[in-house]
A and B are shown apart, each in its own frame.
Chain A
């Protein structure tokens, strides 16, 4: 299966700034999820947005989904140095958690 594309591949910002990451995918989906991965570690689930939802919030996270454009964005507001990690979008076509991951965005938040 083809993976989605994420941009930017890498993003470096100052603490306190907002970080926006984009994800595009190719097939119809049941839901789209965003994950975080610290270097050399496993994945942490951040947020899930269903195909019939357009926007979702969780704390400092805001996710949008545009199924007509097959794209999603993740916004992290008021970033912190601890937000430094790789962020991946993942699509679930059938609702069975068989995920297809995007290429990822490496976020670096500097003090």
Chain B
């Protein structure tokens, strides 16, 4: 079964609203989680590294005020897309690193559609 859960798996929202996506490690603790974005038939682009208890590290070109990341516990990171616009429509995937083993696990992804 899945060891990293993302919720919601899909969401449709109106332009201008904010959407929160959760990434949860189910049976391990993760001080580090990663958020990726994937456009149709394209590769995954790393958006940011989420660090438990501290600020996220964003990749160049990713607006931190647009994509808010909170990693408040060892099993949960959230990505909030603020004031979403149609160009934010994408597939968002998280991964979490097992603090004990170093293994990396990916979530099933969350598809965001902004109307």
Contacts and interface: CB of A to CB of B under 8 A. Distances in A.
A106 B49 contact: no
Interface of B: 4, 6, 32, 34, 36, 41-46, 49, 59, 91, 93, 95, 97, 102, 104-109, 111
A73 interface: no
B111 to A, nearest CB: 7
A1 interface: yes
A42 B34 contact: no
A3 B46 CA distance: 10
Contacts of A98: 34, 46, 49
B109 A97 contact: no
A102 B43 contact: yes
Contacts of B102: 97
Contacts of A42: 4, 6, 93, 106-109
Contacts of B6: 42
Given A1-B59, A42-B107, A42-B108, A97 B43 contact: no
A88 B44 contact: yes
Given A40-B111, A45-B104, A106-B41, A97 B95 contact: yes
B43 A101 contact: yes
Interface in A55-87: none
Contacts of B43: 3, 88, 101-104
A101 B45 CA distance: 7
Contact of A40 (B32, B34, B91, B97): B91
Nearest to A95: B102
B83 to A, nearest CB: 26
